[in-house]
Structure 1
Amino acid sequence: MSTPSAETEDRLDVCDPVAVARALIACPSVTPEEGGALDLLERVLDRLGFSVTRLTFSEPGTAEVDNLVASLGTGAPHLLFAGHTDVVPPGDSRTWRHPPFSGEIDDGFLYGRGAVDMKGGVAAFVAAIARLKAADRLPVGTITLVITGDEEGPGINGTQKALAWCADKGFAFDGALVGEPTCVARLGDMAKIGRRGSLSGTIRVQGRQGHAAYPHRALNPMAAVAPIARTLAEDPLDEGTSDFQPSNLELVSIDTDNSAFNVIPGACEIRFNVRFNTIWSSDTLKAELLRRIEDATPDGISTQVEWERPSEPFVTESGALADAMSEAISQVVGARPELSTSGGTSDARYVRAYCPVVEFGLVGDTMHQIDERVPLADLEGLTEIYGRFTSLVLAGGGGAAGT
């Protein structure tokens, strides 16, 4: 399947999530390239009566990123759907059962990069709104989509800036749905009501370079690496909370950039990432890690830590928004989901600064993998869930999206 033409889009059944997902998958939108996905989405949403704005953001040293904001309706309650059309690289396309941007259907599955993460979710939400509108069953209120092309990239020129733009324009969201994959084994088994925070750091351990045969003339920084690594990796940070699993720190790299056997390195870098719960803030966590590093560093060795962009943990307390999602899922699959805070970070970390947020999407077992694929039945089920959730939130008034 090639990138959809304007003529093909005119015939696109926007009430069919499979058709919309196939059209989106056909757009090679490997981050940060737009690849035609937002162009297609803009035209589809325009057909549905949305007011669409395209936003391009950039920063020095980063790629320009295209984003889309689209709104339908007026007044409160105001529901936000946040998602992305950028995808990770497909790898060697020859290893795929079907070409990664073909959108092929085979044995009840839709194949393609982004089928799960998360063009399938975007397609399901668009189809859900299209069905409600076609049946004249859209409750009073406003629906806004914020779709970025930077979720799989650095996350600098995407959702965070688009939401700030919305705030400057006076958008007041009552609740939000992020359509990332959340389910584990079957559609409807898990929704996310929070996420752990993330903090990365690089420790530069400074010694003095020298000849391996004359160690007294050098100061080997490797003497500090083992105790620092041990205290970071082995000493627990906490035991978790009722909402969150224990925080965990993972060492991801130890590097001296030294290929010679007869040279004592002058410095070493230790890189790590922490996923942390609400026992910590990024500031208190930094202070604790600096204390541990200092206590473990031998005399004569110096250390310096450079921190990467932190994200704070959050949880959306049980309330009408989570209840609406649980009820919508139950109506479609016959069981209520586990409300979880597991997994990594998502753009919900930006959304939570503006309104309560829940996350719900497809089963994520093939995301970022070769032969990424989604059952056609799950796309249909997700569309039904999104439609019922939207109706419950909008029909409930402003309080329906509160905590």
Structure 2
Amino acid sequence: MTTLIDAVELTRALIRRPSVTPADAGAMDVVEETLRSLGFACRRMRFGEIENLYARYGTARPNLCFAGHTDVVPVGDAAAWSQDAFAAEVVDGVLIGRGAVDMKSAIAAFAAAAAKAIADGTVSGSISFLITGDEEGVALDGTKKVVEALLAEGEVIDHCVVGEPTSSETFGDMVKVGRRGSINVEITVEGVQGHVAYPQRAANPAPVLIRLLAALQARPLDDGYPEFQPSNLEVTWIDVPNTATNIIPGVAKARLNIRFNPGHTGASLAGWIEAEAAKAAEGFEGRITVTPQISGEAFLTAPGPFTDVIATAVREAAGREPELSTSGGTSDARFIRALCPVVEVGLVGRTMHQVDERAPVAEIRQLQTVYERLIALYFARFS
């Protein structure tokens, strides 16, 4: 007989493992032991210093996957917390701890929902878990590498649910059916250092960088895209490493980020920035180097049977119709989309990454109910 799982107690056990990226601190062991006890075949997939786990119950299709991460962001000012950030204390019905919202509670809730489905005999296919320890970090040795390995092996995942905290103001008011893409760009302008009184003997990189950034910001990227908000470019860092008042600097640097909708690709935006840099370099006795890093492309899981299952599960368990949104930042869904359609469903994200990150116990249990309905509806629809 399958043992049922208390989602709140499992969340507390996970929080008590201080798995600040890239440390695992035994968090993945807790997940693996829990899933093995339910009959899942578990594979640890370590890349670099990152612990990852792929676990599957059953061998038949359809394969419904839950994806999430055990790693968390640093505590910050520990003294500002009302409770120890890793003690997982419940105060007045609220669980306080790093990872309570983002997103150890979702892992626990889906494990508890899977245990219930297995006990009830309603899994007419497979349930799998793709859990990483590298979502809050650089995300190079986590889900990205696991997805690449699963694709190479021919592993088939039909649909995926990611447990990120997607609700906006009230539990169940929003799920994510897509995300904007993200590209980071570093720009280095190298000139010729010299004395400010003799500019003819120098090549000041600062005005060149200023003109380039102004040109980039002057272009409206778009007015939006169906289901997506407009793309935006933000300058995130500028540095001219010069401590003297009478020296023309030899170098100037900047970084920027663009969050973009499907009207663009990372490559097209990188090409545009490089073209603008080439214009800015005309007549300049120096060099401009553009170094782009594409974090992920924009994607959308189109409305259809899978999104209907998600919305129905939320409506039946939470009592409200969720908005199907593409707002917010990026998540590991950007990698999973290479395997299958993906939707994100989770708690209210208001306190994620904050001091006293917290989740009401009642909402963790409600999330488990959403996942229970989701699993039942999924296999009824796709088996």
TM-score tier by shorter-chain length is over 0.9
TM-score (norm 1): 0.91
List aligned pairs for 1:4-403, cutoff 5 A: 14-58=4-48, 64-134=49-119, 136-297=120-281, 299-300=283-284, 301-397=286-382
Question: Secondary structure of the equivalent of 1:41?
Answer: helix
Q: Is the 8 A contact 1:228 1:297 kept in 2?
A: no
Quick one: distance in 2 between partners of 1:287 and 1:344? 23
The CA deviation at 1:389 is 0.7
Percentage of pairs with the same residue = 46
Letter in 2 for 1:123: A
Secondary structure of the residue aligned to 2:51 is strand
After TM superposition, give the deviation of residue 308 of structure 1 in Å: 1.5
Deviations 1:119-142 (A, max 9, x none): 0111111111112223x2423100
- Higher mean displacement: 256-265 or 121-130: 256-265
What's the CA shift for 1:168?
3.4
Matched-pair contact (CA < 8 Å) for 1:246–1:276 = yes
- Stretch moving more, 42-51 or 223-232: 223-232
Gaps of 5+ in 2: none
Gaps spanning 5+ residues in structure 1: where?
1-12, 59-63, 399-403
Q: 1:6-49: per-residue Cα shift (whole Å, max 9, x none)?
A: xxxxxxx8522111100100001111111111111111111111
1:198-230 Cα distance to aligned partner (Å, 9 max, x none): 011111112110112222211111121222121
CA contact (8 A) 1:205 1:267 kept: yes
**Range 345-354 or range 300-309, more displaced:** 300-309
Is the CA contact 1:14–1:126 (under 8 Å) kept in the aligned structure 2?
Answer: no
* TM-score, length basis structure 2: 0.96
CA distance in structure 1 between the partners assigned to 2:273 and 2:147 by the alignment: 32
CA contact (8 A) 1:81 1:145 kept: yes
Amino acid at match of 1:251: V
Distance in 2 between residues matched to 1:356 and 1:241, nearest whole Å: 20
Displacement after TM superposition at 1:293 (Å): 3.2
- Secondary structure in structure 2 of the residue aligned to 1:203: strand
CA contact (8 A) 2:277 2:290 kept: no
